Structure 1
Amino acid sequence: MPLPGVSLGCDYNPEQWSPDVWREDAALMRQAGVGLVAVNIFGWSNLEPSPGRYRFDDLDQVVELMHANGIKINLGTGTSSPPPWLTTLHPEMLPVAADGTTRYPGGRQGFCPSSPVYRERALALVEKVADRYGKHPAIALWHVSNEIGCHNALCYCETSTEAFREWLRARYHKIETLNEAWGTSFWSQRYGAWDEIRTPRLTLSFRNPGQLIDFQRFSSDNLLDHYRAEAAILRRHSDVPVTTNFMVTAHIRNQDYWTWAPEMDVVANDHYLDNRLGEPAAELSFAADLTRGLAGGRPWMLMEQSTGAVNWQPHNLTKAPGEMIRNSLTHVARGADSICFFQWRASAQGAEKFHSALLPHAGTDSTGFREVLKLSETLQRIGEVAGTEVESDVALLFSWESWWAAEGEARPSQAVTYLDQVHGAHRALREQGVTVDVIAPGTDLSRYKLVVVPCLYLISDADAQLITDYVAAGGRLVVTFFSGIVDERDRVRLGGYPGAFRDVLGVRSEEFAPLKPGTTVTLSNGQSATLWTERLQATTATTIATYDDGPMAGLPAITRNQHGAGTAWYIATNADMSDLLKEAAEVSGRQTDKNVEIVRRSGGGRSYLFVINHSTDPVEFPATGHDLVTGQPVTGALRVEGGGVAVVREEAS
């Protein structure tokens, strides 16, 4: 990690302000306990105001000012948005959308990721920045670009078409192999030469699913290749860690971060509370667990979050008193050792002028700034937690490739979305007080007592076999509907659903029977279910619940199967999983209210209990030790007021 303890940091955009404000900001940052600032994130047009003419005077002053105030720097390469002069000289580098229309400058990330012009000019800038600041003692972290692929991950221009073809050649080698992988015998799509292949722009009908998923893979790999190119330059000039900020959130899906994470010296994520969701705090917990999975279970950093409202949702809600601190400690509880914000000072102009900041438009005499000071004090109090790891013996499998494929254009039900099913499974475990490791298919499962597989539509035979072997060796498995259906080519496994998991689950389904939105069926266990049913038969499994009504009345809806030394459950409909997961995870009872998070971090002989109370009522939890937040001893029982947080250094039993 770039700093010891649990550090507080932020983005800082000094190019928006005068030098007098810089000096004021540095003093206020010191007062607020800010230890790390990200600068030069959008600095390209300031550093290179015209082609080949570089100007570092302002950035030099800011770097020295931060250094003089004891504030470390997360230095951006400045390549996230090209300056207007570059796209004016080279309009061919502008991105093209799926409908074939060009997107013009005026926003951010206005470039084609495959553009050789962009690559050449961006790497030239990185060379200059790295050469100038690579040995500066204030630099604690390198920040490649910013939120890579947030807006321009998928480009359909002619340059991208050529790059896509080259990627396909490297993947398949022979055009016949590609035809087989994409199933091009369908609809007379068979290719005779590589130059017949294009990016999958919008068509009059459905597009080829194999082509679509390969285009997603190509686009993720293409952006990663550029990250590697920038990182290589930085590492030639500096031994400071290099990273970029992921976007593990509910609304960004274009990078397969399982392939990106090994390239990061530190895994970092941006996360903003999404008030378009039914339970934003539950999604925050999932995102934090997934980021920890990307970090291999090790500590990670939260590169961006907001103190209050954002500017890009339809309704930009502010945070209630204490909510920002609860959000921050949820990230810490789930593995973050650095808590950073966008941004330090709220902008007076530009598209993000109504985005909240550590220092709001109202200034220091504000509720928001006082809460920042309180958070800073809290992070300092719990600093000894840094370096410990989250305890979990339950895993949930998550796949970006399955997300892409499961939400293809022609699927059984448009109402079934991958992330909703994943969130539902994670939320049910969270409400039982179970901490979950979110991991990739293919990960070693041997240490987990339960593995949950929600809606894993696409999975390779090898990864499916690892799951089957895990159960045979004594593991517990819960699989939900629309899982195991296709292989990595998006080719259906014949012989009945759920394909790759038929044997381990002891079931066979002949036919999907999705329900219309708003339709409910009743199960024999008293539950109701929505969205999905299927014509299922139990081969070796025991039926736990059947459909009482609906198109599949009398048929199994939930089953349990003994496979080898282990047990596997199948949920063939969209029903409440809480009781089943409680049984499968062997949870004796809900540890506390469902709106209260209980997480432990441990390491080096230390154990820390996090209790985050999102409810309005006080809760009690058995604990003995010392509450780092209040500084008070805890003997036998911990009381956390409504909206409060506690971090208890537990005494050894």
Structure 2
Amino acid sequence: MFEIQPFGGIIYGADYNPEQWPRDTWRDDARLMNEAGVNLVSLGIFSWAHLEPRPGEYDFTWLDEVMDLLHEHGINVNLATATASPPPWLSLKYPDSRPVTADGVRLEVGARQLYCPSHQPFRAHARQLVEQIAQRYGPHPALKLWHINNEYGCHVDQCFCALCAEAFRAWLQGKYHTLDALNDAWGTAFWSQRYGDWAEIQPPRRAPTFANPTQQLDWRRFSSDNILELYRMEAGVVRAVTPHIPVTTNFLGFIPGLDYFKWAQEEDVVSLDAYPDPAGPHPHLEAGMSYDMMRSLRGGQRWILMEQAPSAVNWRPYNAPKRPGLMRMLNHQALAHGASGLMFFQWRASRAGAEKFHSGMVQHVGPARSRVWEEIRSLGQELRTLTRLTGAQVPARAAIMFDWNSWWALNVDSKPAVLPLLPLVQKWYAALRSLGQNVDFVHPDGDLQGYDLVVMPNQYLLAQGSAQNIRQFVDGGGTLVTGFFSGIVDEHEHIQLGGYPALLTDVLGLWVEEWVVLPPGEHNRVRFGAQGEAHDVLHWAEVIHPEGAETLATFEQDFIAGQPAVTRHGYGAGRAYYVGGDLPQAALAQVFEEALTHAGVPTCRLPDTVSLSVSRLGGRSVLHLLNAHPTQALAVTLPAGGVHFEDGRPAAPSLTLPPYGVTLIEFEGEVALDELQLTQAPAALTLSH
């Protein structure tokens, strides 16, 4: 388990790129880092061309100087292996090291991540560089963390070249062993696709029409594993030299190309790059979902926010700045969701290059005249009062089931409709958060026994073992809420026959006959009870046949009028709900509230502009309350007995949180949510069990 103590408190810092600046700037940087409270910087991420200007010729002079300077100023180093961006000489020497797209286009020099993961000379050069770095800096006292590569899969998560085709065939032989087994798994009897020789198999490059679905799914699995081999190679080098130094690589939240549940088991600590859109309706919900996934990947272990923007980014069509207070609030939210480190990209905003308009801790105007710098420095000072949070746990009684394999399968073409998964998961996540819940993410094969409620927005691919895991959870007393178009195919992308979702019909007490796809501009209505609230349903509805399940809500329109839309069924000692349409967030919250209440979990009703989390420090609880509204204040009435986390002062019975305001109140034992009241214009909200 990663320990935070060697860093002297909460990690605070940034990517530092001194090679972009003259030497006379470096000492000023170190002084300003001390002023801001920086205690860790990521160093050398894009330095390969500086460290190895020609093949086999290494120059570490400048990096030696920077490492010593940082140590002299008490600043620790998260040292990168510098392999994220190969130098131009490598592409010139090995033209086939450049990756190839599905359309057969070989990418060109001039950006970053320009490498084929299967290219053996690239791997050899990368290994040699990492060995040089590890041996030279392994004993350096500033080194506290290894940063392997950078944002794997950010730009190139698949390469379709001949080398990757060969590696794909080897991966398939390792998985299926025989062509008969592969042909059966891929369903190659369809469209005369049966393979008689391994050499006939290719990646799913651009084809006349839909490629084989299982081929596409296995290709995704292979591509994630193939890049993971690169990480393992580099991590193995640094671990052999410095087994006492933790290893990480920075994740990108819900990136589609890499199975982070699998990847995270190879790290010592999870780290995240998070860039929620400040102009979005609820950036704290966008960020919070990634934060919770990172904490969940290694069973609740605290993690590092490795990159975020101090203000604006440069890569959206419209790059809004973070309004005053938003940066601080999002960092408090990260701490509340289990972070023990808060870092930025980057230290100084660049003068040149593709990211020169990306904000930095030190902006182009310099620190003396910068609003961003004042917020950065103020946060650094505040973090010194929050060190105890690095020992806190973030317990969750509710979890969202998520699986990259199912996501990949859902994205394979030729479906009843295009069903983007992330917007659906975000809506279910927001509904749980609106009920005051801490939220974990869990793999279908993961341990479900510690949760009262598991929600499954969509699990299109459901293997037999995963279904049994879910069945045991409900049978043992757990509560399940399953979303539409779930349990449709097995791990080979073959339909589970007999009525959907075939492996869970007994648990849900129903079977689904067919789907009613709702094109843009069309909708249905769902009503809870005879006189209950009605909600519009977009995108998707289903023809549901209950076999023991109770109907909680019905469709009101089209040929499915009067038929079930939401059901509930007792199974063993537990309950299973089914949501047969794309319900709005308010309707989902209604279903979740009933499910949580029945499971004995306290709930509360919060607007989307309030973030509430509870963490545990031994026998005490810490209430993290954040006002995410940019213009409206929040009036709070607190339960009795609370004290301010930072200094232990007794908390007043009521307080006002300004826009983007934050408060941390500590309580002995559990937080009495039924005594907490919030008022934010225009309505008052009372939290209760």
| TM-score range normalised by the length of the shorter chain | over 0.9
1:65-214 equivalences under 5 Å are 65-214=69-218
For the pair 1:488 / 2:491, whether they are aligned, the reply is yes
Contact 2:278 2:322 (8 Å CA) reproduced: no
Q: Secondary structure at the match of 1:163?
A: helix
For the pair 1:565 / 2:568, whether they are aligned, the reply is no
Q: Secondary structure at the match of 1:236?
A: helix
Q: Distance in 2 between matches of 1:180 and 1:444?
A: 31
For the pair 1:474 / 2:477, whether they are aligned, the reply is yes
Q: Secondary structure at the match of 2:545?
A: strand
Partner of 2:677: none
Which one of 532, 535, 545 corresponds to residue 553 of structure 2?
A: 545
1:626 CA drift (Å): 2.5
TM score, norm. by length of structure 2:
0.92
For the pair 1:595 / 2:598, whether they are aligned, the reply is no
Partner of 2:634: 618
Partner of 1:304: 307
**CA offsets 1:250-303 (integer angstroms, 9 cap, x no match):** xx2100011111110111111111358553321211111111111210111111
**Code of the aligned partner of 1:582:** E
Distance 1:196 1:278, change over 3 A: farther
**Code of the aligned partner of 1:535:** V
Q: Distance in 2 between matches of 1:163 and 1:37?
A: 36
**Code of the aligned partner of 1:439:** V
Contact 1:471 1:568 (8 Å CA) reproduced: yes
Q: Secondary structure at the match of 1:46?
A: helix
Which one of 516, 525, 528 corresponds to residue 522 of structure 1?
A: 525
Contact 1:113 1:152 (8 Å CA) reproduced: no
Q: Distance in 1 between matches of 2:351 and 2:563?
A: 62
**Code of the aligned partner of 1:186:** F
Q: Secondary structure at the match of 2:361?
A: coil
Q: Secondary structure at the match of 2:352?
A: coil
**CA offsets 1:476-496 (integer angstroms, 9 cap, x no match):** 110010111111111110011
Distance 1:637 1:499, change over 3 A: farther
1:203-352 equivalences under 5 Å are 203-238=207-242, 239-249=244-254, 252-274=255-277, 278-352=281-355
For the pair 1:534 / 2:567, whether they are aligned, the reply is no
For the pair 1:634 / 2:651, whether they are aligned, the reply is yes
**Code of the aligned partner of 1:266:** V
1:641 CA drift (Å): 2.8
Q: Secondary structure at the match of 2:560?
A: coil
1:505 CA drift (Å): 0.6
**CA offsets 1:74-129 (integer angstroms, 9 cap, x no match):** 00000011100110011011000010111011000011011101100000000000
Q: Distance in 2 between matches of 1:201 and 1:277?
A: 35
For the pair 1:509 / 2:524, whether they are aligned, the reply is no
Q: Distance in 1 between matches of 2:590 and 2:70?
A: 53
Contact 1:4 1:386 (8 Å CA) reproduced: no
Q: Distance in 1 between matches of 2:637 and 2:42?
A: 39
Partner of 1:386: 390
Contact 1:629 1:646 (8 Å CA) reproduced: no
Contact 1:486 1:499 (8 Å CA) reproduced: no
Q: Distance in 2 between matches of 1:160 and 1:236?
A: 28
Report the more deviating stretch, 642-651 or 173-182: 642-651
Q: Secondary structure at the match of 2:199?
A: helix
Which one of 570, 583, 605 corresponds to residue 619 of structure 2?
A: 605
Partner of 1:582: 593
Partner of 2:420: 417
Partner of 2:686: none
1:411-490 equivalences under 5 Å are 411-414=415-418, 416-490=419-493
Partner of 2:681: none
Q: Distance in 2 between matches of 1:513 and 1:537?
A: 14
**CA offsets 1:385-407 (integer angstroms, 9 cap, x no match):** 11211021111111111111112
1:589 CA drift (Å): 5.3
**CA offsets 1:163-217 (integer angstroms, 9 cap, x no match):** 1111111111111111111111111111111110111111110111101111111
**Code of the aligned partner of 1:294:** L
Q: Distance in 2 between matches of 1:498 and 1:278?
A: 34
Q: Structure 2 regions of 5+ residues with no counterpart?
A: 529-533, 671-689
Contact 2:282 2:608 (8 Å CA) reproduced: no
Report the more deviating stretch, 551-560 or 252-261: 551-560
Q: Distance in 1 between matches of 2:131 and 2:505?
A: 54
**Code of the aligned partner of 1:563:** Y
1:426 CA drift (Å): 0.5
1:588 CA drift (Å): 5.7
Report the more deviating stretch, 463-472 or 35-44: 463-472
**CA offsets 1:523-564 (integer angstroms, 9 cap, x no match):** 232122111111111111011111110242221111111111
Report the more deviating stretch, 42-51 or 238-247: 238-247
Q: Distance in 1 between matches of 2:85 and 2:623?
A: 42
Q: Secondary structure at the match of 1:523?
A: strand
For the pair 1:650 / 2:671, whether they are aligned, the reply is no
Contact 1:592 1:619 (8 Å CA) reproduced: no
Q: Secondary structure at the match of 1:634?
A: coil
Q: Structure 1 regions of 5+ residues with no counterpart?
A: none
Partner of 1:556: 564
Distance 1:621 1:397, change over 3 A: farther
Contact 2:102 2:159 (8 Å CA) reproduced: yes
1:592 CA drift (Å): 4.0
**CA offsets 1:559-582 (integer angstroms, 9 cap, x no match):** 111111111110000113011111
Contact 1:481 1:498 (8 Å CA) reproduced: no
1:591 CA drift (Å): 4.7
**CA offsets 1:376-432 (integer angstroms, 9 cap, x no match):** 122221111112110211111111111111121111111x21111111111101111
Q: Secondary structure at the match of 1:386?
A: helix
Q: Distance in 2 between matches of 1:589 and 1:185?
A: 52
**Code of the aligned partner of 1:650:** F
Partner of 2:407: 403
Q: Distance in 2 between matches of 1:486 and 1:333?
A: 37
1:629 CA drift (Å): 5.3
**Code of the aligned partner of 1:214:** D
1:450 CA drift (Å): 0.7
1:636 CA drift (Å): 4.2
**CA offsets 1:115-172 (integer angstroms, 9 cap, x no match):** 1011000000000000100111100000010001211210000011011111111111
Q: Secondary structure at the match of 1:381?
A: coil
Distance 1:570 1:583, change over 3 A: same
- Identity within the alignment, %: 43
Q: Distance in 2 between matches of 1:373 and 1:628?
A: 21
